[in-house]
Amino acid sequence: MTKGARRMLATMDRAVAAWHIPVVGRAKGRLIRRLIDRHRPRRAVEIGSLLGYSAILIAGSLPAGGRLVCIEVNPFLASLVEANVAEAGLGKRVKVVGGDALRAIPFLPGRFDFVFLDAVKEDYLDYLRQLEPKLTAGAVVVADNTGIAGKAVAPYLEYVRAAGGGWDSREHVFGDDAMEVSVRV
C-alpha cells in the first residue's frame, strides 16, 4: 500500500472510531488488501464512498497504473471523498462520480476487474446485474455488511451462490458481520 494511503487511513481510523462512522475498517480492510494483492486488479469501481476510507484503501493497494471509480450519491460526501483521496496522494488514481449508482453505472465506460459494494443493501443485486456486462472474467466483487444486513442482501446472496450462475462465492465472517467475496468464473 502507498505511504500516503497508510498515513491517511491511520488518521481516519482515529476519527471514525471516536465518531462511530460506518467505514469498512481495518479488519475487513486487510481482506480487501489481500484480495487485491492476489488478483492484481487494474480497474476498480466502488459503490458508496462516504468519506473515502475504502476508496483510499482500495486505490492505495492497487498495482501501479491501477484506477478506481467511486460512485457516491451525496454531493457533499462526493467532494469530501475527492479531497481526502487527494490528501492521501491518490488523486490521479481515483475518479469520483457524484450521483445515484443505479443511474450512473450504465454510463461507466470500459470494463472492471474489482468491485466494492457498500451503498444501499437492498440494491446490491441491481448494482451487480448492471455491472455484470462490464466485468472481466476473474473479476472480484466484494459486498460489505452481508451479516448485519442479511435480510436486505438475501436476493444478492442467493444470486451469487446459485450453482452454475457464473460466480464462485464465499462468505468471510467478521464478528456479527460478514463480507461476501464473489469471483466471476
Residues 112-131 that bind ligand SAM (CB under 6 A): 118-120
Residues 18-57 that bind ligand SAM (CB under 6 A): 22-24, 47-50, 53-54
* CB 6, min distance to ligand SAM, A: 15
C-alpha cell at position 164: 452454475
**Contacting range for ligand SAM; rule: CB under 6 A; set: 17-25, 105-113, 131-139, 158-166:** 17-25
**Contacting range for ligand SAM; rule: CB under 6 A; set: 1-9, 66-74, 88-96, 158-166:** 66-74
Residue 183 burial (C-beta neighbours within 10 Å; 0-12, 13-18, 19+): middle
Contact 116, 44 (CB under 8 A): yes
Contact 101, 69 (CB under 8 A): no
**Contacting range for ligand SAM; rule: CB under 6 A; set: 35-43, 67-75, 82-90, 176-184:** 67-75
Query: Most distant CA pair in the chain: distance in Å?
Result: 44
Give the integer Cα–Cα distance in Å for 118 and 93: 20
Distance from CA of residue 37 to its chain's centroid? 15
Residues 85-104 that bind ligand SAM (CB under 6 A): 100-101
Positions that interact with ligand SAM (CB under 6 A)? 22-24, 47-50, 53-54, 71-74, 77, 100-101, 118-120
